[in-house]
């Protein structure tokens, strides 16, 4: 049996030594399995790729896929999953925020028959409070509207069985939201708790703007409710305006005509202008996704692969 470790990396020259030390320490405890470590270099501009090549020259279990530019972590994970040959794949970050020790527990659960073993960040004290807060809001709202759950406090750190890998390979979203896709595919799932650590070296690659766009991708990938909700909103407004119209007619009949009402009219016009723009923006989000799908561009471009 073979394990494939998939590690997306983007400008991670500081983390590599620490990562390889730790992953070999863990893999040595799993001596009944053979393994491959697939490093996906997501268009790094620093020395990540050349350092990786040194490692790969000494050790044939280390395989490298190097992208022609930065395509993002989701695409990097996909590339790893498409290239891996193991009976199970483990996806881990290179920065050791997800303690690699937990892989031992993942494998134990896999041996018990679970096919999708995901890590749950039960302790996120190492994340800034605003990140925790915004992540919390995201999971709460997306899970209300999504057609299959995205588990709270779950990242990409997980083990998936070959069956899940093959199922995921069939899902050809141009803008994949992997956390959703893993669960969408079904299969027997279980969570393993762990405490998220501070970054071992280097800096985070996700700023808040990137995270916001990532959240939008998560919502549009997993639900069409934002498109449909406007119908109901329109119905409510129509109903209210019907009542209000009746009120005005009655008032005119009883009290006669009066002219004031400029401020309220103006406010209502502005409000509905805003609502219509939001509504157009939502439709635009989805049309943008449709456009991307119809272009059928490759998801990512590999410049070089090593040891495959
Ligand atoms: N990463 C990547 N491509 C990107 C951004 C990040 O491959 O465009 C990798 C990064 O090298 C790391 C993992 O994804 O291994 C998680 O990124 P990071 O630690 O910056 O995110 P955070 O843990 O802060 O959410
Ligand atoms: Mg990190």
Helix axes 262-295, 208-222, angle to 10 degrees: 80
Torsion over CA of 25, 31, 34 and 39, rounded to 10 degrees? Answer: -10
Identify the burial level of 206 via C-beta atoms within 10 angstroms of its C-beta, where 0-12 means exposed, 13-18 middle and 19 or more buried. Answer: exposed
Q: In this predicted structure, what is the pLDDT of residue 38?
A: 95
Measured from the Cβ of residue 268, the count of other Cβ atoms closer than 10 Å reads: 13
Q: Taking 80 as the threshold, does the pLDDT of residue 176 lie above it?
A: no
Higher pLDDT, residue 232 or 51: 51
The pLDDT score that the predictor gives to residue 19 is 93
**Ligand 1 contact via 97 beta carbon (within 6 Å):** yes
The mean-pLDDT minimum among 111-125, 250-264, 272-286 falls in 250-264
Most confident of 35-39, 208-212, 217-221: 35-39
Pairing mode of beta strands 302-306, 154-161: unpaired
For the chain, what is the radius of gyration of the CA atoms?
A: 25
Gap between the Cα atoms of 285 and 297, Å rounded: 18
* Nearest-atom index, ligand 1, CA of 205: 20
Question: What is residue 112's predicted lDDT score, i.e. its pLDDT?
Answer: 93
Nearest atom in ligand 1 to 71's CA? 8
| Percentage with pLDDT > 70 across the chain | 100
Looking at the predicted structure, is the pLDDT value of residue 117 above 90?
A: yes
Calculate mean pLDDT across residues 111-139. 85
Ligand 1 centroid from CA 8, angstroms: 7
Closest atom, ligand 1, to C-alpha of 8: 7
pLDDT for the residue 125: 74
Return d(Cα 68, Cα 236) in angstroms, integer: 50
Predicted confidence at residue 263, as pLDDT, reads 73
94 pocket-lining for ligand 1 (C-beta < 6 Å):
yes
Give 90 Cα–ligand 2 centroid separation in angstroms: 16
- The token pair at 36 is 């491959």
Q: Please name which of 165, 202, 173, 185 lies closest in space to residue 11, comparing C-alpha atoms.
A: 202
Specify the pairing of strand 2-9 against strand 88-91.
Answer: parallel
How much is the pLDDT for 118?
Answer: 92
- The CA 173 to ligand 2 mean position distance, Å, reads 24
Which residue's alpha carbon is at the smallest distance from atom 23 of ligand 1? 204
Nearest protein CA to atom 11 of ligand 1, as residue: 9
pLDDT surpassing 90 at residue 110: yes
Distance in Å, CA 147 to ligand 1 centroid: 27
The answer to whether 81 and 158 are in contact (CB under 8 A) is no
Greatest alpha-carbon pair distance for the chain in Å reads 93
Among 91-105, 180-194, 261-275, top mean pLDDT goes to 91-105
More confident site: 47 or 260: 47
What ligand is nearest to the CA atom of residue 7?
1
> Looking at the CA of 44, which ligand is closest?
1
Q: Express each pLDDT in 70-99 by its tens digit.
A: 999 999 999 999 999 999 999 999 998 889
Any atom of ligand 1 within 6 Å of the Cβ of 77: no
Kindly report which listed range (114-118, 123-127, 216-220) carries the lowest average pLDDT score.
Answer: 123-127
Q: Where is 63: in which H helix or E strand?
A: strand 62-67
95 CB near ligand 1 (under 6 Å): yes
What are phi and psi for residue 183, nearest 5 degrees? -80, -30
pLDDT on residue 159: 95
How many angstroms separate the CA atoms of 184 and 299, rounded? 20
Say yes or no to pLDDT of 261 above 80: no
Look at strands 302-306 and 62-67 and give their pairing: antiparallel
Residue 8 Cβ contacting ligand 1 at under 6 Å = yes
Tokens of 275: 């609502």
- Classify residue 279 by burial, with Cβ atoms within 10 Å: 0-12, 13-18, 19+: middle
All structural domains of the chain: 2-209+298-306 (3.90.550.10), 225-295 (no CATH)
Joined together, the tokens standing for residue 8 give 């997306």
Query: How many Å separate Cα 228 from the centre of its chain?
Result: 23
Q: Which region holds residue 201: left if phi is over 0, alpha if psi is between -120 and 50, else beta? A: beta
CA distance 279 to 239: 19
Q: How far is the CA of 77 from the centre of ligand 1 (A)?
A: 11
281 in helix, strand or coil?
helix
Question: What DSSP designation does 8 have?
Answer: E
More confident residue, 92 or 269: 92
* β-pair type (189-195, 34-41): unpaired
**Ligand 1 site-directed mutation target among 95, 124, 127, most atoms within 8 Å of CB:** 95
Tell me what percent of the residues of the chain surpass a pLDDT of 90: 38
Sequence-ordered list of residues with C-beta below 8 angstroms from that of 190, at least 6 positions apart, any chain: 109, 114, 116, 117, 118
Q: According to the model, what pLDDT value does residue 267 have?
A: 79
């Amino acid at each position: 049996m073979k394990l494939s470790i998939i590690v997306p990396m983007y400008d991670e020259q500081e983390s590599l030594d620490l990562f390889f030390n730790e992953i070999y320490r863990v893999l040595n405890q799993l001596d009944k399995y053979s393994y491959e470590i697939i490093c996906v270099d997501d268009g790094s501009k620093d020395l990540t790729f050349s350092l990786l090549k040194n490692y790969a020259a000494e050790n044939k279990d280390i395989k490298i896929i190097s992208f022609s530019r930065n395509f993002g972590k989701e695409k990097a994970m996909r590339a790893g999953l498409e290239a891996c040959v193991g009976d199970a794949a483990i996806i881990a970050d290179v920065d050791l925020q997800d303690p690699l020790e937990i892989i031992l527990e993942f494998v134990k659960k896999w041996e018990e028959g679970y096919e999708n073993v995901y890590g749950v960040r039960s302790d996120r004290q190492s994340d800034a409070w605003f990140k925790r807060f915004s992540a919390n809001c995201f999971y709460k709202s997306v899970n209300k509207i999504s057609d299959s759950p995205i588990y709270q406090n779950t990242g990409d750190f997980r083990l998936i069985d070959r069956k899940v890998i093959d199922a995921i390979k069939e899902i050809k979203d141009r803008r994949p939201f992997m956390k959703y896709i893993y669960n969408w595919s079904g299969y027997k799932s279980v969570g393993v708790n762990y405490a998220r650590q501070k970054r071992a070296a280097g800096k985070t690659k996700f700023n808040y703007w990137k995270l916001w766009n990532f959240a939008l991708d998560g919502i549009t990938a997993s639900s069409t409710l934002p498109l449909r909700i406007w119908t109901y909103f329109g119905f409510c407004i129509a109903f209210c305006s019907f009542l209000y119209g009746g009120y005005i007619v009655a008032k005119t009949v009883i009290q006669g005509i009066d002219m004031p009402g400029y401020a309220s009219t103006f406010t209502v016009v502005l409000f509905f202008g805003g609502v219509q723009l939001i509504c157009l923006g939502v439709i635009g989000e989805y049309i943008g996704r449709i456009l991307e799908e119809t272009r059928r561009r490759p998801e990512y471009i590999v410049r070089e692969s090593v040891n495959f």
